[in-house]
Amino acid sequence: MRTLQLVLVAGIASALTALAAVVGLADAQSQVIPANTENPAVVGTTQDGALLAAKDGEWSGTNPMTFTYQWRRCDANGANCANIAGATGKIYRASTADVAHTLRVTVSAKNETGTASESSPASGVVDRPTGATRLSDGKYSIPVASVNEPFRLVLSGLQFTPSVLRSRAPFTGRFRVTDTRGYVVRDAIVLVTGVPLGWINAPAEVTTNVDGYATVQLQPTTRLRLVRGGSMVMFVRARKQGDDLLAGISTRRLVRVRTARPGS
């Protein structure tokens, strides 16, 4: 009797093991690696500074799935693509390096069985910001309305005539405004203030021309000291109409023009 019981127990254990193997095989066979059924896509306006998004596309296979991304820069025909370093998020901001190129995004779907990848069709050719105009020096001029955060204005050039003040006669300051991408910015509003206050008469705000320059006539007062090795210091601010004076894309910079004794 004891021997019969042992045989029965062994038989049941063997049957359960076989059943578990069959169930495990069935579970493994039911897990399906991801397969793309509808291409990913690049969504958004293809313009320098604009945000673009990767559309995942449609995928078959066992859920849950996770997705990763790699943005690629291609030629104007969508060929000769190369990965963009660090561009691995679902959202990508087009840059000046993308201008005249197209973009693709490669989406990789992963589940517990495996990983599969598919690339989107090429986007439209990335264009410069709205209102971009090429200047004779090869730079591009854009309206200040086309500059938005996270980009900012930059006071990138200045020129004074005369370059050294030997009298309290009016002098001219020219201030060039660009943005952090390197575009020349027109219609920016420039304010110049003497430091300390009262060393020059406060001029009105001036807007930049198509070449990015604002030209300001500056009138020193009797407080300006005309000494050898001295300087007239000015606070210069550039902003966009409607922006907060201390925020938005505005910029500020201290500049100076040298002074000398009269007749020196």
Tens digit of each residue's pLDDT (9 = 90 or more) over 226-249: 999 999 999 999 999 999 888 899
- Give the single-character DSSP code of 221: -
pLDDT for res 43 = 98
**Per-residue exposure over 195-233, b if at least 16 CB sit within 10 Å of its own CB, e if not:** eeeebbeebeebebeeebbbebebebeeebebeeebebe
Q: Is-contact 190 206, C-beta < 8 A?
A: yes
- The secondary structure of 125-155 as a DSSP string is PBBPPTT-EE-TTS-EEEEGGG--TT--EEE
pLDDT for res 14 = 58
Model confidence over 65-81: pLDDT tens digits? 999 999 999 999 999 99
pLDDT for res 172 = 98
Alpha-carbon distances, residue 264 vs 13, 16, 129, 164, 166 (angstroms): 110, 108, 49, 11, 8
Rounded-to-integer distance, Cα 54 and Cα 17, Å? 47
The average pLDDT across 24-42 equals 78
Domains of the chain: 35-119 (2.60.40.2700), 133-259 (2.60.40.10)
What strands lie across the sheet with 164-165, from one edge to the other?
Answer: 164-165, 251-259, 230-239, 189-195, 206-207
pTM for this predicted structure: 0.82
pLDDT for res 30 = 65
